[in-house]
Structure 1
């Protein structure tokens, strides 16, 4: 029996490789004789750097960059074995996990560090960049990132803006005079973990702003400010990007990389699946296990579990093991999923659930395996 274990991370509790190990441990207790393939997956958010670096036998370096609140943070950037390709994860520089819960407010955060990671990769001689744009604490439209690359944005009084979320309200003009010219000679691919447009009810601000600490009372004004910023920027640079699927990823980072760095946009999960040869590995699998922190109706829109499920052969059972299930999860049964198992054991304090995530996943995986063993016997 061949079992492919290909989960995404459980946000803020377990990295994807740890989730895979927990599921493997649970299954091994029931199916010690099975053939296992552990494939930690990412879809453009946290874990993308690790997943892609592993696929290319690359190296990972740690760089000091500007964090979401303006402080210095240690961010990882990966390079392929030959050094020509760099893998950057937006969340490394401005991820939600870098901002304490009581300080979360995307009007006060910046993506400046992402631009610094891009510059570092260019300095190391990378000719191709793959940038994952999920899991951020920002909703600055990528203004911070663009500022690090040399773009300058001004308010009505001609004052240079720093590139935080609140600066979207004040930007009325821009200059590309100091733009880093090395951007002309590098190929950049954006690995987006969502398909949301930049603005509107399904855009970056309305869908993801509240998760990052943006009060409901600020949603409408912030969405309008994002739209005005891109109307100004797109007009200035003669390129329209705001309507493209995925432009709203990473608080507008998808649009920013398209506009300010001439990047190409690709679904993060498709890029990772391709790099890891997941379809080839799954083609003769009997069981494919996927997972992420929360399974809900959004999972089918470019998220890792749905991407892996699409790689499974028709004869295989596709099982999702997740932290919790949310509204709309029943849609997954029409997209190749056979069963969904949440791992939260009881009504417990959040810190207790997060701290025991490995054990919870391991226990759930063992229970799933026991059920499958009884069916096979």
Structure 2
């Protein structure tokens, strides 16, 4: 069945910290094409709102333009970044801006460092301001891979809000500022663009509590066991000052950035499904004979909102066989939806080797899948 494929769609997510979604799709396709050169190759890299979201749109939307901007990175240093301008549509006559938290305020920008008390989302807000200043009709914001747990106060400050302590002084950047937070003034907050703001997230956690931003994601960003309740208390203080429900699914995304965006008036949606729709994956699958997806680590949580699982679901709906290439596939992962799977770690002999040359092993994975299918 798959051996007669005439159209192969490549729709991986990024391999976090290793290779972006667009480059991963190209490498897989190159390997596939080395075995099946006559096949029609269609690249539709996907994302769930985190790292690689800009790449996914840039690769799939004709006429997309990268717009350079210098922002304050999560460590306070000037950081070169970009946002993406998508062409005008009936829904957004002056174009849509795609802005990615990962490339402006994300954990990857810190390398091996963690700044749990001081990293913030100011740079993300500055990139949003640059997009708004350009006059776009709509914003699409990806909020995965945050380096901070500060409830989005840096983002909102960049948009014109003021957060002060009991002495009416501005609070410190980052989660540290939550400890002294006493008041929030939203009078100067920028209005939403005419077409609104769509926020892409891959988690449904609330802002507070045992399933909230500090408890679940804080340790990944460097918060210690004793730090978590202090930050959660600070986020609770913030929740009492902003006009949004902290229990809204996704409010805890990106260290509470989801909550800040809700307070601004944005709409949160599942990132993987929305990106797939916006890049035209469903239409590509209608003409496909096989689809190949993937991500860095396919594990027990991948089925809950991650991009490869959504790609597999769409492929199943369309009756198209789907294969998976992942940096690693853990023992608790369910792979029953896939006609074939391949692990880069297995191909390379170790995780270190796979991470060192991801494009090489993705090309090899594409060739392996072309032969096995």
Shift, 1:19, TM fit: 0.9
Once the two structures are overlaid, the 10-residue window that deviates more, 303-312 or 214-223, is: 214-223
Once the two structures are overlaid, the 10-residue window that deviates more, 120-129 or 309-318, is: 309-318
Instruction: For residues 268-306 of structure 1, give each alpha carbon's deviation from its aligned partner in whole angstroms, at most 9, with x where no partner exists.
Output: 122211111111211343321111111112212221111
Structure 2 residue ranges without an equivalent (≥5): 89-93
SS at match of 2:192: helix
Quote the Cα distance in structure 1 between the aligned partners of 2:156 and 2:272. Answer: 25
SS at match of 1:225: helix
Once the two structures are overlaid, the 10-residue window that deviates more, 120-129 or 212-221, is: 212-221
Q: After TM superposition, what 4+ stretches of structure 1 lie above 3 angstroms from structure 2? A: 182-186, 336-340, 345-350
Quote the Cα distance in structure 2 between the aligned partners of 1:343 and 1:202. Answer: 32
Task: Find the counterpart in structure 2 of residue 363 from structure 1.
Answer: 364
SS at match of 1:255: helix
Quote the Cα distance in structure 2 between the aligned partners of 1:305 and 1:353. Answer: 19
Quote the Cα distance in structure 2 between the aligned partners of 1:118 and 1:287. Answer: 37
Whether 1:265 aligns to 2:259 is no
Give 1:226-375 correspondences, 5 Å limit: 226-230=235-239, 232-234=240-242, 239-259=243-263, 261-313=264-316, 315-326=319-330, 328-330=332-334, 332-333=335-336, 336-345=337-346, 348=350, 350=352, 352-372=353-373
Q: 1:364 to 1:349 in 2, by over 3 A?
A: closer
Return the match for 2:47 from 31, 42, 47: 42
Quote the Cα distance in structure 2 between the aligned partners of 1:340 and 1:196. Answer: 30
Task: Find the counterpart in structure 2 of residue 164 from structure 1.
Answer: 174
Shift, 1:166, TM fit: 1.8
Give 1:142-181 correspondences, 5 Å limit: 142-180=152-190
RMSD after superposition: 2.1
Give 1:126-205 correspondences, 5 Å limit: 126-180=136-190, 182-183=191-192, 185=194, 187-205=196-214
Instruction: For residues 153-201 of structure 1, give each alpha carbon's deviation from its aligned partner in whole angstroms, at most 9, with x where no partner exists.
Output: 1223332113312212221221123323x33756111111222222233
Kindly tell me the number of residue pairs found equivalent between the two proteins.
Answer: 360
Quote the Cα distance in structure 1 between the aligned partners of 2:82 and 2:193. Answer: 24
Give the TM-score, by structure 1 length.
Answer: 0.89
Task: Find the counterpart in structure 2 of residue 17 from structure 1.
Answer: 22
Return the match for 2:78 from 49, 69, 72: 72
Quote the Cα distance in structure 1 between the aligned partners of 2:332 and 2:213. Answer: 20
SS at match of 1:29: helix
Task: Find the counterpart in structure 2 of residue 97 from structure 1.
Answer: 108
Q: 1:356 to 1:168 in 2, by over 3 A?
A: same
